[in-house]
Structure 1
Amino acid sequence: MNFALRIAAPMIAFVLMAMPLRAEIEISEVESPGGVNAWLVEEHSIPFVALELRFKGGASLDLLGKRGATNLMVGLLKEGAADMDARAFAERAESLAASFSFNASDDAVTVSARFLTENQDEALALLRDALTQPRFDQQAIDRVRAQVVSAIRSDAQDPDAIVGAKFNAMVFGDHPYGSEIEGTEESVAALDRDDLVAAHKGALARDRVYVGAAGAISPEELAAVLDELLADLPATGVAQPSDVEVATEAGVTVVPFDVPQSVAIFGHEGIARDDPDFFAAYVLNEILGGGGFEARLMEEVREKRGLTYGVYSYLVPKDHAALYLGRVSSANDRVAEAIEVITEEWAKMAENGVTEAELESAKTYLTGAYPLRFDGNGRIANILVGMQMDGLPTEYVTTRNDMIEALTLDDIKRVAARILKPEALRFVVVGQPEGLDAPGQ
């Protein structure tokens, strides 16, 4: 769940759209006197700054029996801080034309700030209060808890949410990845203020923060900002969870649900982001299921047979496990055929790799689209943080396309044989599919 405070949206949107597209950017590495590291793209053409903070760990840091604590805690960071209650905090942000958002995911707590340089000091002081002095008032806890419970109940009736939860539980079991970050109705109801304070101290700590910034701020200014913003956070947080092995067997698990169209997730073990073969796997997936209408799965499942409106695959390199997944929806009387075709295409690419035309088309798209990602301060700051968390060097932005262009057919074929595992391709289907065996096949 993304808890965002959206203030002065028209102004912020205008500033973002005004930023020029950049094929090349210059990244400065900044270290504050207090030892906080950050990456910065300095851009003074518009008096606007985007700041992205990411705390490694996220909802996977929930303590045993406290599932949902990190998610609920993050949802309360905008609900009052220091001497301001929720309304006063919102009014103060609005008066500054500042935008803050807070989000929890499996592996990170993300904090995004957008502000004009003329209000920089006041906006950052407000953000500092939210990060270091959240109030966790009982009234706010009850209100946000009700929002989370409502989302949990909604997900319980959503086939897309159900299939994801079932697949994760099957693959990850008791590991935090095996349950939803929102928790259950029961676990969320049992959380109290002390649990939220503990989650805050455990997740928002200086030993796990990554920072990206873009806009009208100098390295010297950013260094000073970092210490002022983060100095009062704990030096260390709770321990990261252990890695978990992904082990699946080919087959289908059916979760009965009364809908006219079945929803399926399929996949098996993937490839880590720091694996030397990741780039080849990334290009391979673009050809198999990540490239829209030109992808093989779309061609075979939708275009040739009309079995679905959409089918796609994607790499999921989490911090403690890696998955290779896909999704498809199809009418109950046609989903069995869709599964058969997907399985066949998975096996064909594992054995034969891709064609020269497919590889060249994927390279053209991926290298051409990459510069378009750098189309505003907010997106640039987000990219900078992601690069740091992935362990990439600053020069990655200039060498990335060269690495894609250097891939050969033999590279893709070798990696296809390595990472595509038809013998482990597991499908979880939610619906009333015809032609598939009972649950647990």
Structure 2
Amino acid sequence: MTIHVPPPATTFSERVQRVRSPGGLEAWLVEDHTLPILSVQFGFRGGPVLDPPDRAGAARMLADLLTEGAGPLEGGAFRRALGDQAIRLSFSIWSDTLRGELKTLSRNAERAFELLGFALRAPLLAPDDVARIRGAVASEVRAALSQPDKVAGRAFAARGFEGHPYARPANGDLASLERIERVDLVALHARMVSRGNLRVAVVGAIGPEALGAALDRAFAELPPEAVAPTPATVLGGLGDRVVTRLELPQSTIRFGRPGIPRTDPDFAAAMVVNQCLGGGDLSSRLFRAVREQRGLCYSVRSMLQLADGASTLVGTTATRNDRAAEALGVIQDEIHRLSREGLAAEEIDRAKGYLLGSHKLRLDTSPAIAALMLQLQLDGREPDWLDTRNRCIAAVSPADGRRAAERLLGDGGLLVAVAGDPEGL
């Protein structure tokens, strides 16, 4: 069966306007006056990779502190100013970025962008707030010490990316958090929150001229410098088994190997291969072999994790301690078989259908569309990527799948991190 993707009446790229402000700032805009609402997504390159080596968690603390008072408004007054006009503003960290989300009624856009500008240009970073946020993040870190998925994930990254910023926990650890002082946060803010690092995406009821003025209100006074790209790296430790003993009835297993970069010609085929191996539906090879045929787990899945410095195939499952070795053996056998034999045409068609349909379902809200546009900019892609993506996936052939499977899965070697009390590992 051949999957054809008919051209839409209006392509995604035709809906995107590139807006340039009087001050030279650029944003991607999808103008939509259906509702009087604006959804704004923005990101600054850097994030946790810019944490000082002995102060992991600094970017996370900075993200939490940006809404704790800024400009002329102390913390309580700043939050009240947001609440008085139903403005939602939040910040979060990703592997290579500090990201923000602003949502407001169109009539309040001027005030919303003014408050956003305060948060970005002049966060107070008051000592009492720094201490309080440090304590809150430390509480999360303590709780994570007994959460097997978090424990396995941290061990996986620490071994797989040893010597690279990706090896450090984004939230830090108890020792690194104690070292973070206000001066460290001020320095990190100055380095990261700049026009050179900025990308912006907007969906909603605003025109290009009004958006240009709003962009300058929020971002024009930021410094111009940009940080260097994240250093490239590749997941290491293939063949290693890192076990962290926890007194739990189950073991959580994280496994992985190097992936195929998003810029590689075989990336679309790699997406199809991963979908067949352990993607999000119930027909994947790992789901059938590990759960349906043997009852070893409740769920098992794999995914391509994409960061600026690395692409990684990562999978995860949880199973009884006495069956952990068996479950891992089945996973490895399926990876070897897929790498050696490739995929049947029926499997490829089913995976392509899922990838094409599920992606459209993810774009059902203005924030989701804005988030996609932001990610495209951070990835260095053009607005027409969403249109070409679907055509590339639809064009994947069995020969493409076989080639991508050989490249993605190779000899089947895996880095494995386990949290629990597994027998035989």
Instruction: State TM-score, norm by structure 2.
Output: 0.94
Matches within 5 A, 1:83-98: 83-98=72-87
**Residue 428, structure 1, aligned to residue 414, structure 2:** no
- Range moving further from structure 2, 138-147 or 395-404: 395-404
| CA shift for structure 1 position 253 | 2.6
Task: Choose the corresponding residue for 1:228, options 217, 228, 231.
Answer: 217
Please state how far the C-alpha of 1:418 moved relative to its aligned partner.
0.9
Select 1:360's aligned residue among 340, 344, 349. 349
The answer to whether the Cα contact below 8 Å between 1:24 and 1:371 also exists between their aligned partners in 2 is no
Q: Which amino acid aligns with 1:318?
A: A
Corresponding residue to 1:272 among 246, 253, 261: 261
Task: Decide whether the 8 Å contact of 1:268 with 1:421 is kept in 2.
Answer: no
Q: Is the 8 A contact 1:49 1:214 kept in 2?
A: yes
Matched residues, number: 415
Residues 396-428 of structure 1, C-alpha deviations (whole Å, 9 max, x = no match)? 232322211111010001110111034421211
160, 172, 180: which one pairs with 1:183?
A: 172
Corresponding residue of 1:256:
245
Among 139, 150, 163, the residue aligned to 2:139: 150
Which runs of 5 or more structure 1 residues have no equivalent in the other structure? 1-21, 437-441
Using the aligned pairs only, state the percent identity: 37
**Alignment of structure 1 residues 237-252 onto 2, 5 Å:** 237-252=226-241
Closer, same or farther: CA 23–142 of 1 in aligned 2, 3 Å: farther
Q: How does 1:1-12 map to 2 (within 5 A)?
A: none
Structure 2 counterpart of 1:344, one-letter code: D
Which letter maps to 1:383? L
Cα separation, 1, equivalents of 2:345 and 2:289 = 19
Alpha carbon RMSD of aligned pairs, Å? 1.5
Q: By how many angstroms is 1:24 displaced?
A: 5.2
Q: Is the 8 A contact 2:57 2:177 kept in 1?
A: yes
Task: Give the structure 1 partner of residue 5 of structure 2.
Answer: none
Q: What SS is found at the alignment partner of 1:334?
A: helix
Match of 1:400 among 381, 389, 395: 389
Greater shift, 359-368 or 377-386, is seen at 359-368
- Of 271, 278, 297, which aligns to 1:308? 297
Residue deviations 1:58-101, cap 9 Å, x none?
11011232222111111100100112111111111111111111
2-structure distance, mates of 1:191, 1:247? 29
Q: Name the counterpart of 1:381.
A: 370
Q: CA deviation at 1:349?
A: 0.7
Shift of 1:287: 0.9
Q: What's 2:67 paired with?
A: 78
Contact 2:236 2:415 in 1 (8 A): no
For residue 49 of structure 1, the aligned residue among 38, 41, 49 is 38
Can you list the C-alpha shifts for 1:253-273, whole angstroms capped at 9, x where unaligned?
Answer: 322211110011101111111
TM superposition shift of 1:192? 1.4
CA distance in 1, matches of 2:129, 2:204: 34
Looking at structure 1, the residues matched to 230 and 373 of structure 2 have their Cα atoms a distance apart, in angstroms, of 25
CA contact (8 A) 2:269 2:400 kept: yes
Give 3-state SS (helix, strand or coil) of 2:242's partner. Answer: strand
Contact map agreement 2:48 2:59 (CA 8 A) in 1: yes
Residue deviations 1:298-318 (CA, integer Å, cap 9, x gap): 010001100000100011121
Residue aligning to 2:111:
122
- Correspondence for 1:139 among 104, 117, 128: 128
What is the letter of the counterpart of residue 186 of structure 2?
V
List alignment gaps of at least 5 residues for structure 2: 1-8
Give CA-to-partner distance per residue, 1:180-217, whole Å, 9 cap, x none: 01112122112111111111111111111111100001
For residues 38 and 357 of structure 2, the distance between their equivalents in structure 1, rounded to whole angstroms, comes to 27
The 1-side partners of 2:412 and 2:339 are apart by: 11
Moved over 6 A (4+): none
Q: 1: distance between equivalents of 2:406 and 2:376?
A: 28
